[in-house]
Amino acid sequence: MDFRTDILPHRDRLYRLALGITLHTAEAEDIVQDTMLRAWERRGEWSEIQNISAWLTQICRNLALDRKKHSQYEGTLSSSASSGAHLDPATSHSALSTPHLSDTLEARESLSILSQLMAQLTPPQNDIIRLRDIEGLSYREIATELSLTEDQVRVYLFRARQKLREQYMKMQNYGLQ
């Protein structure tokens, strides 16, 4: 297995995963860089890994979630220190905190909404939506990626989209809890 041909080509997919969690381009790029370096440090294990894509996804997701928790904690501290108020989870991913994400405020807000919706899904549902709606993979490709059958992918995608709709309607009517 080779770093250039087997690891590095996953960079953009991992970047979108990290960006969907952190909503910050620079942070997402740092996370992918850390993911690549961790994969490189563990190159002795490559030959034993069955699904390199899933392995990289796991590393990247853990790093992104850690980074997000850390950012939220720091945000809570700074918010409490400055105003004495708690940070509202619904506004923790302020569109204004992603200054380089997109040219338009609408696009940043859309991405922020999607990120919050996906955070409400279970990890398998989140994976399915990400691979289908962001990466545009077929059922067969998703099945290979997640080590599932195509029928299982169909069922999981159905449930994930139902949950997505439900959460979306809640968000539109009441704001996300």
Interacting residues with another protein (CB under 8 A)? 3-4, 8, 11-12, 15-16, 19-20, 25, 29, 32-33, 36-37, 40, 101-102, 106-107, 109-115, 117, 132-138, 154, 157-158, 160-162, 164-165, 168, 172
The CB-of-173 to another protein minimum distance in angstroms stands at 10
Per-residue tokens: 2: 């080779």
* Residue in the block written with tokens 């991913």: 93
Q: Which residues contact 113 (CB under 8 A, 6 or more apart)?
A: 171
Nearer to another protein (CB atom), residue 88 or residue 151: 151
Of 76 and 133, the one with the shorter C-beta distance to another protein is 133
Identify which of residues 79 and 119 has a Cβ nearer to another protein in the complex: 119
* Dmax (CA) of the chain: 53
Give rounded-to-5 percent helix, strand, coil for the chain.
80, 0, 20
